[in-house]
Amino acid sequence: VIPPKGWFAEIKRILDEHGILLIADEVQSGVGRTGAWFAIEHHGVVPDILTTAKAIGGGLPMGAVIIRADLDLAAGAHSNTFGGNLIASAASLATLGVIEREHLLENARTQGAHLRQRLTELAGRHPEIGDVRGIGLMVATEFVRDRTTKEPAARFRDRVIEEAYRRGLILLGCGRSSIRYIPPLIVRREEIDEGVRSSTRRSGRPAPPHEGRPPRRGRPPRARRPPPPGRRTRGGRGRPRRLRRLRHRPGE
Q: What is the rounded CA–CA span in Å between residue 186 and residue 111?
A: 9
pLDDT of residue 250: 52
- 225 Cβ contact partners less than 8 Å away, ≥ 6 residues apart: none
- 252 in a structural domain: no
Q: What would you report as the CA-atom Rg of the chain, rounded to the nearest whole angstrom? A: 29
Question: Looking at the structure, do residues 54 and 29 belong to the same domain, yes or no?
Answer: yes
Helix (H) or strand (E) segment spanning residue 96: helix 86-101
Question: Looking at the structure, do residues 157 and 187 belong to the same domain, yes or no?
Answer: yes
- 109 in a structural domain: yes
Q: What is the rounded CA–CA span in Å between residue 3 and residue 1?
A: 6
Question: Looking at the structure, do residues 58 and 16 belong to the same domain, yes or no?
Answer: yes
pLDDT of residue 203: 36
- 174 in a structural domain: yes
* CATH (domain of 127): 3.90.1150.10
Q: What is the mean pLDDT of each run of 10 residues along the chain (252 residues)?
A: 92 96 96 96 95 93 90 72 87 96 97 97 92 96 94 94 89 94 96 86 48 46 57 50 47 50
209 closest CA partner among 145, 120, 115: 145
Question: Looking at the structure, do residues 90 and 112 belong to the same domain, yes or no?
Answer: no
Question: Looking at the structure, do residues 115 and 167 belong to the same domain, yes or no?
Answer: yes
Total domains in the fold of the chain: 2
Q: How far is CA 34 from CA 43, 44, 95, 145, 231, in A?
A: 12, 14, 16, 29, 71
For CA atoms 198, 199, 204, 205, the dihedral sign is: positive
- 127 in a structural domain: yes
Question: Looking at the structure, do residues 96 and 142 belong to the same domain, yes or no?
Answer: no
Question: Looking at the structure, do residues 87 and 149 belong to the same domain, yes or no?
Answer: no
Domain that includes residue 152, residue range: 104-198
pLDDT of residue 76: 66
Determine the Cα angle at 42 with ends 89 and 175, to 5°.
Answer: 85
Question: Looking at the structure, do residues 148 and 182 belong to the same domain, yes or no?
Answer: yes
Question: Looking at the structure, do residues 128 and 67 belong to the same domain, yes or no?
Answer: no
- 150 in a structural domain: yes
Single out the residue in 155, 181, 198 at which a domain terminates. Answer: 198
SS3 call for 90: helix
Q: What is the rounded CA–CA span in Å between residue 197 and residue 204?
A: 7
Question: Looking at the structure, do residues 21 and 56 belong to the same domain, yes or no?
Answer: yes
pLDDT of residue 55: 94
Question: Looking at the structure, do residues 47 and 123 belong to the same domain, yes or no?
Answer: no
- 77 in a structural domain: no
Say whether pTM exceeds 0.85: no
Backbone angles phi, psi at 218, to 5 degrees: 90, -175
Q: How far is CA 115 from CA 7, 49, 132, 140, in A?
A: 25, 31, 10, 10
Question: Looking at the structure, do residues 53 and 131 belong to the same domain, yes or no?
Answer: no
Q: How far is CA 92 from CA 46, 59, 107, 109, in A?
A: 23, 9, 20, 22
pLDDT of residue 47: 96
